[in-house]
Amino acid sequence: MHRTKTARVASVVSLAMAIGLCVLANPITAGNVGTLTEEGRIDVGFYPDNVFFLSDARVAIVDGQGAHTVIWNVPASGAEAVQEPRMGKILDVSEDLSTLAVCTHAGDVSIWTADPLVHVFDLCALQHTPVPRAAFSPDGRLLAITDERDEIELWDLESGALTTTLIGHDSNVFDLAFSPDGSVLATAGGWSGSTADADSCVKIWDVTTADLIVSLSTIDLGDNHAIAFAGDGARLISGGIERLVAWDTASWERVYDSGSSYPGSYGMAVSPSQELLAIAYWGGSVRVMDLGTMSRLRDLQAPDTPFDVAFSPDGSRLAASFADGTIVVWKVP
């Protein structure tokens, strides 16, 4: 579950070009993805879950089995490269990179500043805490939270109040994603294993009214491990156990289907340029796809089963976490 900073990146690049500054970042594109090389690799010594960029060269890696986060200063290696703040596990990073949502092992969710890492306030306590997920709205005013139950809570971060609870799923919710304008929230439901399970779906909610807009059937996907808006909100992509699919967000009709030969995936990330899709691909690689054509551009070698992927805010780096505790970052030379 990763959002992009498209407008921020584009405006910074445009300003730099306008005043004659050299833009140091070399964003990953469809044209240069073939030149991606490994910039750094570390072993965090635990079973990793999500990866987040806190800046263009700081990667947060979340422990998949405990309330633990480490921060890697890329591309440094060795003990000095990794910080271990006593803060719990990061659930999400705000669009402007200023704020973190953090969860402790006991299920207490708190808000922190990202740089420096400072606790701001405690938000709520979750009733169930197997694998909590959260998503900031693009403006940073709301936080959507689920702890893999069938409910999603929306919290106002200015008042610290619960604004609404979205009820409609009948099984676990695995991922959350706000549209780029913040008007809708997509929630990815799980699958019980029954062909009669009507809740194997992605649900689309109106954030203002809390009304359910549409339920998108994904019975052929199995569990929806990750969802992401792409094309500045024109499409919604979901990756599951069986398929990768995309919907047009105007009609909510499927516009892409990988077919049943898809081996499955965990995390996915859309590049800041909205040109690329990176997938933690069960086929034994990190797959990079062209979002315009949904075609494969490159499979990056994986040391083990990949769990999550993330693009840096400037689009110049791609990070991935793997089941054996390895974290790898690639960059265009």
Q: Is the pLDDT of residue 18 over 50?
A: no
> Would you say residue 284 lies in a domain?
yes
Q: Span 166-194, mean pLDDT?
A: 85
Degrees, nearest 5: CA angle 296-311-148: 95
- Are 327 and 51 in contact, with CB atoms under 8 Å apart? yes
Q: Is the pLDDT of residue 3 over 50?
A: no
The contacts of residue 19 (CB under 8 Å, 6+ apart) are none
Banded model confidence at residue 10, pLDDT cuts 50, 70, 90: very low
Could you give the CA distance from residue 279 to residue 18 in angstroms, rounded to a whole number? 34
> Would you say residue 119 lies in a domain?
no
- Which of 43-47, 71-75, 283-287 is the least confident region? 283-287
Tell how far CA 215 is from the center of its chain. Answer: 21
> Would you say residue 91 lies in a domain?
no
- Are 327 and 319 in contact, with CB atoms under 8 Å apart? yes
Coil, strand or helix at 257:
strand
pTM of the model: 0.90
Q: Is the pLDDT of residue 215 over 60?
A: yes
> Would you say residue 167 lies in a domain?
yes
Sheet holding 133-136, edge to edge: 133-136, 142-146, 151-156, 161-167
Query: CB-hemisphere CA count at 13 Å for 180?
Result: 17
Could you give the CA distance from residue 19 to residue 305 in angstroms, rounded to a whole number? 45
Kindly report each contact of residues 29-36 with a partner whose C-beta sits within 8 Å and lies 24 or more positions away, as own/partner: 29/273, 29/275, 29/276, 30/275, 30/276, 30/290, 30/297, 32/332, 33/276, 33/288, 33/297, 33/298, 34/297, 34/298, 35/332, 35/333, 36/288, 36/298, 36/300, 36/318, 36/330, 36/331, 36/332
Could you give the CA distance from residue 2 to residue 309 in angstroms, rounded to a whole number? 8
- Are 85 and 117 in contact, with CB atoms under 8 Å apart? yes
> Would you say residue 101 lies in a domain?
no
Q: Span 206-230, mean pLDDT?
A: 87
Most confident of 64-73, 188-197, 225-234: 225-234
Mean pLDDT over each residue of the chain, to the nearest integer: 87
Number of domains in the chain: 1
> Would you say residue 104 lies in a domain?
no
Banded model confidence at residue 21, pLDDT cuts 50, 70, 90: very low
Domain at 221, CATH number:
2.130.10.10
Q: For residue 196, what are the domain limits?
A: 6-83+147-331
Choice between 248 and 10, residue whose per-residue pLDDT is larger = 248
Write out pLDDT tens, residues 257-283: 988 777 778 899 999 999 999 999 887
> Would you say residue 88 lies in a domain?
no
Q: Span 231-247, mean pLDDT?
A: 90
Strands (E), 249-284: 254-257, 265-270, 276-281
> Would you say residue 17 lies in a domain?
yes
